[in-house]
Each structure stands twice: as structure tokens, then as C-alpha cells.
């Protein structure tokens, strides 16, 4: 595989990871916390309804998990493409 093809494959894989992370973030932040909040109001967690929990804590926790997932996955991708440190 040429350097250009390898570089394109690397960036395509990188963009795929970014798109997945953004989709999860949007689903949790906007979907669960705002749009689907009325449907989640009947489910209780930590003394409050699940929609409120996602709006206040869940979105932040999912975002932190996404940061660690992205770092781990990019380290793996870097190793696979020979661009790791």
C-alpha cells in the first residue's frame, strides 16, 4: 500500500471514530436529556427521573467515557498504521 493510500485509510478510520463518538454524544446529550426526557421521566435513578439524571450527570459521564474511548481507540489505530509515538 502506498503512503497516500495508507494516509487516506488512517484518516478514514479516524473520521469514523469521530463520527461514532459525536453520534453517541448527541444521542445522550440531546436525545436522552432533552427530546426523550418526557418518556424517561417514569424511570427513577438516584432519587430522580432518568431524563433529569442524563441532563445533569449522565451526559457529562458519557462524555468523559467517550474521551477515554477515543484516546484508547486512536492509540490502537496509530499503532496499526505505524504512526504511534
Supply the pLDDT for residue 35. Answer: 87
pLDDT: which is higher, 58 or 17: 17
* Sign of the Cα pseudo-torsion (34, 37, 38, 39, in order): positive
* CA distance from start to end of the chain: 21
Residue 36: partners with Cβ closer than 8 Å, 6 or more residues away: 51
pLDDT (average), residues 7-17? 93
Supply the pLDDT for residue 81. Answer: 87
Q: Tens of pLDDT along 33-82?
A: 888 888 888 888 878 888 888 888 888 999 999 999 999 999 999 999 88
Q: What is the 3-state secondary structure (H, E, C) of 9-65?
A: HHHHHHHHHHHHHHHHHHHHHHHHHHHCHHHHCCCEECCEEHHHHHHHHHHHHHHHH
Supply the pLDDT for residue 1. Answer: 61
Amino acid at each position: 500500500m502506498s503512503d497516500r493510500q495508507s494516509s487516506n485509510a488512517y484518516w478514514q478510520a479516524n473520521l469514523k471514530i469521530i463520527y461514532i463518538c459525536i453520534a453517541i454524544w448527541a444521542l445522550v446529550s440531546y436525545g436522552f436529556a432533552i427530546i426523550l426526557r418526557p418518556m424517561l421521566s417514569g424511570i427513577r435513578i438516584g432519587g430522580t427521573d432518568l431524563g433529569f439524571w442524563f441532563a445533569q450527570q449522565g451526559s457529562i459521564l458519557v462524555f468523559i467515557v467517550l474521551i477515554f474511548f477515543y484516546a484508547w481507540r486512536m492509540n490502537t489505530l496509530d499503532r496499526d498504521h505505524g504512526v504511534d509515538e
